[in-house]
Amino acid sequence: MKKLIAEIIKNAVLSLQKEGNLGDFEIPKIEIDYPKEEKFGDYSSNIAMILGKKIGKNPMETADQIAKLLNGQIVNDIGLEKAEVAAPGYINFYLSQKYLQDKVAEINRAENNFGNSEIGRGIKINNEFISANPTGPLTVGNGRGGFYGDSLSRILRKAGYEVANEYYVNDAGEQVMKLGHSVLKDDEAVYAGEYIDALNEKYKGISDAQEVGEKAAEDILQNIIQKTVKEKMQINFDNWVSEKKIQSDKYVDRVIDLLKEKKLTYESEGALWLKTTEFGDDKDRVLIKSNGQKSYFANDCGYILNKLERNFKVLIIGLGADHHGYVSRLKSAAKALGFSGDFSIIVSQLVRVVKDGKEVRMSKRAGNVVYIDDLLSEVGHDVARFFFLLYSPDTHMNFDLGLAKEHSEKNPVFYVQYAYARICSILRKAQEMGVRLPSGESNFLELLTHEKELSLIKEVNKFPELVEEIAESYAVHKLPQHVIRLADKFHSFYNACQVIEEDNLEMTLARLDLIKSVKIVLEQTLDLIGVEAPEKM
């Protein structure tokens, strides 16, 4: 609907231009938003205010001209009742009852295909996230980035993209040597904890730090990280890419040769540098150090080349809060290699686990570090995932442990899941009574005229638009926020409207159709978030 409204506004502006009422200019992008209050309509545009600045005309007058052109046949054709003007120049649009009633049948016919989009057809996306060093268990920071990356991939697939989830394993370099020293518990030890004690016992017969580091890194990856990711975080990666293999497959050597051929490198102070400043970086970066060793950045360039050779058109990388400095250099490297597609780097900010306003530790063994395993054991997968996804990753987050452990409607996860379970309970009761369950072909949807019914339909109607919006903006937090609003509107409807009325079969059938459509959207939304939709609670 947003796209349709934007299109009819654009046509109206073009028509006014031809009549000489608006002047000759390139029409700016027309944004359509949801008004903050339903009394101001279902969709709203500020295009008249934008045009007012361009042409020096009163926005209210321009909005009136556009609305007059649209009202009547044009808005009716796309399912709108009317367009109204509101100060200081908004054009507000109201969906028709017929459109909303028909939407219920459409959802029930489509079932789990409702919200599917083709905007990503034929586009391959590489979504790399977590990629924590295999030197210890995953932290809550890794958990935040992991849940975000996984949910983003689910949404992108719903929008038609071909997405590969990828984990880059940093199993080469200094951190592996540091791990080796830590397992050996010598003077150069860096890491500590119960897992280090266990690895020390396991590899007692090995004295070489590099060898024990490599074995320990593989052990941590397989027995700690991958188990946490698959079993506890419930995330599936399509590819686990080894840094060692990127090196052994000569990607690092090849990328350096390629960059030299492009004349994008130079030597200074005995080192080989890449001219990343030519591509937006704040300074040039070292590829080969003065001691002849290749830098981490050189390995990153080799990995980017590997991705490009796999024909990905969009690259997404999730990084932790301490890796903000990598953003410009990685994007510069991709540009230097000729990548012209979308390249987004999402930095997840820090997480504090708090209770009663005070920061808490989850276990003695982790010191100041909070492991995601401990948090999941404390609050459960669904709650942890939902809470993390409620906030945009670029904001600092306080994870409220007290609220997360609430098994009541105060907890947004239970509030949403209870709405789903309640609908399932009503549908079961109807079936036991022998009432026809919704099929999407009801003849009584015109009875859905109560304000709570219409408000509920308006919320489910937003789902396909949200899928496409998030697939383009990566604003995953909009989805759990939407599902809370949907649950809220369902509970409000339930309190105002009796679904099963034994003396009014037609109204019963219409409302069963309505709640079935809500069930479909709740289930789809929870699936994209990665949270269970329980039929009983």
Tens of pLDDT along 400-426? 999 999 999 999 999 999 999 999 999
229 and 206, same structural domain? Answer: yes
Binned at pLDDT 50, 70 and 90, residue 367 comes out as: low
User: The domain that contains 439 carries what CATH number?
Assistant: 1.10.730.10
Q: How far is CA 143 from the centre of its chain?
A: 14
Residue 286 lies in a domain: no
> What does the DSSP assignment read for 25-78?
-PPPP--EE--SSGGG-SEEE-HHHHHHHHHT--HHHHHHHHHHHHTTHHHHHT
Q: Note the pLDDT tens digit of each residue in 306-352.
A: 999 999 999 999 999 888 889 999 999 999 999 999 999 999 999 99
519 and 386, same structural domain? Answer: no
In this prediction, residue 439 carries a pLDDT of 61
In this prediction, residue 72 carries a pLDDT of 85
Binned at pLDDT 50, 70 and 90, residue 369 comes out as: confident
Mean pLDDT, to the nearest integer, of 141-150?
Answer: 97
Instruction: Look up residue 83 and give its two tokens.
Output: 């367009």
194 and 91, same structural domain? Answer: no
Phi (first) and psi of residue 519, to 5 degrees = -60, -45
Q: Note the pLDDT tens digit of each residue in 498-515.
A: 999 989 999 999 999 999
In this prediction, residue 53 carries a pLDDT of 86
Mean pLDDT, to the nearest integer, of 189-193?
Answer: 91
pLDDT > 60? residue 363: no
Pick from 405, 428, 452: which residue ends a domain?
405
522 and 433, same structural domain? Answer: yes
Binned at pLDDT 50, 70 and 90, residue 442 comes out as: confident
Phi (first) and psi of residue 493, to 5 degrees = -60, -45
In this prediction, residue 398 carries a pLDDT of 95
Which residues, in sequence order, are bridge partners of residue 399?
Answer: 353
Residue 214 lies in a domain: yes
3-state secondary structure of 310: coil
378 and 421, same structural domain? Answer: no
CA distance 478 to 84: 27
Q: Tell me which of 198-207, 238-247, 362-371, 392-401 is least confident.
A: 362-371
CA distance 290 to 288: 7
3-state secondary structure of 351: strand
392 and 456, same structural domain? Answer: no
139 and 54, same structural domain? Answer: no
Instruction: Give, rounded to a whole angstrom, the gap between the first and last alpha carbons of the chain.
Output: 35
pLDDT > 90? residue 160: yes
Q: Note the pLDDT tens digit of each residue in 383-406.
A: 999 999 999 999 999 999 999 999
523 and 485, same structural domain? Answer: yes
Amino acid in the structure at residue 194: E
537 touches 418 (CB < 8 A): yes
In this prediction, residue 288 carries a pLDDT of 97
pLDDT > 80? residue 24: no
* Structural domain span for residue 25: 2-95
3-state secondary structure of 353: strand
CA distance 472 to 156: 9
3-state secondary structure of 534: coil
CB atoms within 10 A of CB 485: 13
Number of domains in the chain: 3
Pick from 372, 388, 405: which residue ends a domain?
405
The helix (H) or strand (E) run that includes residue 389 is: helix 381-389
pLDDT > 60? residue 93: yes
pLDDT > 80? residue 436: no
User: The domain that contains 49 carries what CATH number?
Assistant: 3.30.1360.70
502 and 453, same structural domain? Answer: yes
Q: What is the mean pLDDT of the chain?
A: 94
Cis, bond preceding 137 (omega within 30 deg of 0): no
User: The domain that contains 217 carries what CATH number?
Assistant: 3.40.50.620
Binned at pLDDT 50, 70 and 90, residue 20 comes out as: confident
Query: How far apart, in Å, are the Cα atoms of 156 and each of 313, 471, 483?
Result: 14, 5, 18
In this prediction, residue 361 carries a pLDDT of 74
Residue 186 lies in a domain: yes
Mean pLDDT, to the nearest integer, of 109-137?
Answer: 96
